[in-house]
Amino acid sequence: MKTTATIAGLLFATASAAGAQTLTIYTYDSFVPDWGPGPAIEEAFEAQCDGCDVEFVAAGDGAALLSRLRLEGERTEADIVLGLDSNLVAAARETDLFAPHGVEAEFDLPVEWNDDVFLPFDWSYFAFVAGEETEAPANFRELAESDLSIAIQDPRSSTPGLGLVLWVQEAYGDEAAEIWEGLADNIVTVTPGWSEAYDLFTEGEVDAVLSYTTSPAYHLIGEDDPTKTSWAFDEGNYLQVEVAAVVESTDQPELARDFMEFVTTSGFQSVIPTTNWMYPSVTPEEGLPEGFETLTQPEGGLLLPPQEAADMRDEAIATWRDALSQ
């Protein structure tokens, strides 16, 4: 009975929603809950769009998002996809499912970003997060020589894991295999996703975990715990840039374009820091929340252009796998 009611309810909901202006946004799981950025962004955009309805659909993580869109193809309900990682951009572009966003904006990114299809909405540096009492290594070499224990994510199933292997590959080139062999005895384990690795860290199983330089902000602001920090490496820290794009087959092209414009404004950007715990791609008028000034600032940001990241991916993963399989 319950399911029949649910199905009926949802069918009617979809039918009535098609009449009003509904903007369907596919995003990753942690974007939509009450404590995520979704609800506040929905409210802010609905207040300015004159009777439209924003609907977030959570579809796993960044990689799952893209595969769901590819399964649905041109018949997809999605008007916008929000939450692809820059390393997935080349694969996303190849699908020809996305349309130019038409937004002009000055981004506050540590790297140059010019792309007429994929619009950055937030970013952070990848970094190892540790307790402040742990002595910070200055680079991967020092980390490999130390006795520190770390947890990382699998590059074959997680975007931070992929970011890490690209980071080592970009920073060390032909020496990447050597770095991974040195790190082998520091790596306690490799987890399928970010959550499991981070849980190992908070439980004290490892000294440090691959996460973001903005992660300590959650502990400081959300939990009043100033003891977490992250490590800046002197070879530079690799960036994660998260992007949004308009789906070409959208039945709401104007509304979608309005939303993309809205992404770069304060209404969207001011929500990001303390819900998604990332840096906004355009610093909002009121600046960053108090506490963000305490975060580690790496000297340089590394980021492979999307096509190069895609080309290097297989080689970087093979290097990682072979070095750690010995």
Partner 1 sequence: MSLSRPGGAVAGLMLLLTLGTLGAVAWRAEYASGLARADWAAIRFTVWQAVLSAVLSVGLAIPVARALARRAFRGRSLLVTLLGAPFILPVVVAVMGLLTVFGRRGVVSEGLGTLGLPPLDIYGPWGVVLAHVFFNLPLATRMLLQGWLAIPAERFRLAAALGAPVGRLLERPMLRSVVPGALLVIFLICLTSFAVALILGGGPRATTVELAIYQSLRFDFDLGRTALLALCQFALCAAAAALAFGVTVPDGMGGGLDRVVMRWDGSRWLDALWIGAATLFLMAPLLAIAWRGIGSWPDMPPTVWAAAGRSVAVALISAALAMAFALALALRPGPLATLAGVLPLAASPLVVGTGLFVLVYPFVPPGAAALPVTALVNAMLAVPFGVRVLAPAVAQAEAVHGRLADALGLSGWRRLRVVLLPRLRRPLGFAAGLAAAISMGDLGVIALFAGPGEATLPLEMYRLMGSYRTEAAAGAALLLVSLSLALFWVFDRGGRVAEV
String of contacts with partner 1 for each residue 88-117, x by CB under 8 A: ---x--------------------------
Which of 64, 72, 59, 74 lies closest to 25 in space, CA to CA?
A: 59
**213 or 264: whose CB is closer to partner 1?**
213
Q: Which amino acid is at 92?
A: A
Per the document, the length of the chain is 326
Alpha helices for 105-252 (secondary structure H):
140-145, 159-172, 176-183, 194-202, 215-217, 223
Give the nearest distance from C-beta 299 to partner 1 in angstroms. 26
Among 50, 203, 285, 286, binds partner 1 (CB under 8 A): 203
Among 139, 189, 249, 283, binds partner 1 (CB under 8 A): 189
**191 or 269: whose CB is closer to partner 1?**
191
Instruction: Tell me the C-alpha distance between 203 and 121, whole Å.
Output: 31
Among 115, 205, 234, 258, binds partner 1 (CB under 8 A): 205
Strands (E), the chain: 21-27, 52-58, 80-85, 98-99, 119-131, 150-153, 187-191, 208-212, 228-230, 237-247, 279-280, 301-302
Q: Quote the distance between the C-alpha of residue 227 and its chain's center.
A: 24
* Beta-carbon-side half-sphere exposure of residue 220 (alpha carbons within 13 Å): 22
Structure-token pair, residue 267: 């209404």
Per CB under 8 A, which of residues 128..157 are in contact with partner 1?
Answer: 149, 154, 156-157
Among 102, 131, 222, 287, binds partner 1 (CB under 8 A): 222
| 187 touching partner 1, by CB under 8 A | yes
Q: Which residues bind partner 1 (CB under 8 A)?
A: 2-3, 6-7, 10-11, 14, 29-30, 32-36, 55-60, 63-64, 66-68, 70-72, 75, 77, 91, 149, 154, 156-157, 162, 184, 187-196, 198-200, 202-206, 215, 218-219, 222, 277, 320-321, 324-325
